[in-house]
Amino acid sequence: MADVLVPKLNNQDTEYLVVEWLVGDGEPVRAGEAVAVLETSKAADEIEAAASGRLVHVAAKDAWIAPGAVLARVVPEDRDGSAGSAAAPVRTSGGDPEETFTGAAAGSLITAPARAAMEELGVPEDRVLALGLPLVRRADVERLASSRASGDAVSGASAGGAETGGEGADDAAAGRHEPSRVQRAVARAVTLSHRTIPAAYTVMRFDVGRALERARALTREVRRPVGLPELFVQAVAGLHGRFPLLFGAWEEDGVALSDAPRVGVTFDLGEGLYVPVVRETASLRDIAGTLMRHRLAAATGDFRERDLTGANITVTLHTDADVILAVPIVLPGTAAALAVTSPRPETVPAADGSVTVRTVTDIGLAYDHRIVNGRDAALFLAALRQEIQ
């Protein structure tokens, strides 16, 4: 018998969603054949069997599963073509605090962090056991508490519709929107961010007139399109050495610092929101070339897994001319996200009654308040403004 284990698909997520089984439960499978599709916050990945035999599903469709867990088992076929016994104990690492069990009931093992979450969130044990999971982690309890709160809200809305004479009927007639895989991945990242990261926000006004003039000249010099996104990526990356906490990640025993800046940049060109990463930041020519490739990939959704993993800070682009302020989310695994809005003219009156017109944009910084305090955020924005201006 061979286990099909969940590989580590990226550094951002601690678990993935089983969105599709490509081989049915009990059906024959060949070594190297894709058996399931797992969805991360960045992409969808096919998982392959390492051996031939009959596939026995361990995880259910639409279940969440952690790296290293058993997704399925491939059992040898008996002579009559049927699958042999697939019974086997659940594997545990022994070193992860999530693998410290406080006891088992009804076939489920509940980790110590999960027990703590049950107490914090008021989730009774019978509701946890009703999940039917062989191993219950803290994230499972948090999702259960979140879904219960959502269900209460939906029930309240339905009751309100009945009392006011039929709003619920209008909602039912409105139909249902089925989110795409990309939308669902974004929704999970947003939910996890808001649930786990105590974010704060600071805004500072930048005069970008000279930067735009410089960008036009640099476009001719590097023979690549250069605009504010390219200049901001270069400037943000250049501050890595002075502000290492802005590029860190929260861990229970401290803050993990990064060895180099890896800047995620948001793109939404109609195929969904993507956050590909710019790794080579020393040269503006390299940055411009990388962003051009990412724009082309965003138009078709044709990204490689490496393109979408490993960011330690995010630059979010808001190109609509009417958007003057945007509050980005701090992606799990990062400490900060910068919002870059479109430039706009601003009239500045002088003491002598004359006026001047400058080109400005309001740049916002959302940050994990466990890692970065308000003073550091203001200093970072001030340093960034100096670099841009």
- Which pTM does this prediction carry? 0.58
SS3 for the chain, per residue? CEEEECCCCCCCCCCEEEEEECCCCCCEECCCCEEEEEECCCCEEEEECCCCEEEEECCCCCCEECCCCEEEEEECECCCCCECCCCCCCCCCCCCHHHCEEEEECCEEEEHHHHHHHHHHCCCHHHHHCCCCCEECHHHHHHHHHHHHHHHHHHHHHHHHHHCCCHHHHHHHCCCCCCCHHHHHHHHHHHHHHHHCCEEEEEEEEECHHHHHHHHHHHHHHCCCCCHHHHHHHHHHHCCCCCHHHHCEEECCEEECCCCCCEEECEECCCCEECCEECCCCCHHHHHHHHHHHHHHHHHCCCCHHHHCCCCEEEEEECCCCCCCCCCCCCCCCCEEEEEECCEEEEEECCCCCEEEEEEEEEEEEEECCCCCHHHHHHHHHHHHHHHC
Q: Topology of domain 1-91, per CATH?
A: OB fold (Dihydrolipoamide Acetyltransferase, E2P) (2.40.50)
Sign of the dihedral defined by the CA atoms of residues 62, 67, 70, 71, in that order: positive
pLDDT in tens, the chain (389 residues): 788 999 988 777 788 888 889 998 888 999 888 899 888 766 778 899 989 998 988 888 888 888 889 999 998 875 555 444 443 333 333 344 444 444 444 455 676 667 777 877 778 888 888 777 766 777 777 777 665 544 443 333 333 333 334 444 444 456 777 777 777 777 878 888 888 899 999 999 999 999 999 999 998 888 888 999 999 999 999 999 999 999 999 887 889 999 999 999 998 876 678 899 999 998 999 999 999 999 888 887 788 878 888 999 999 999 888 888 999 999 888 999 999 999 999 998 888 888 889 999 999 999 999 999 999 999 999 999 999 99
Structure tokens at 134: 């062989």
CATH number, domain 182-388: 3.30.559.10
Pairing of strands 273-274, 267-268: antiparallel
Q: Which residues pair with 48 in a beta bridge?
A: 34
Nearest to 9 by CA among 255, 306, 323, 349: 306
Q: Rounded CA gap, 280 and 50, in Å? A: 35
Q: Locate the domains of the chain by residue range.
A: 1-91, 98-161, 182-388
Q: Which residues pair with 2 in a beta bridge?
A: 74
pLDDT single digits (tens) 116-138:
778 777 788 888 887 777 667 77
The answer to whether the 1-91 and 182-388 domains have the same CATH topology is no
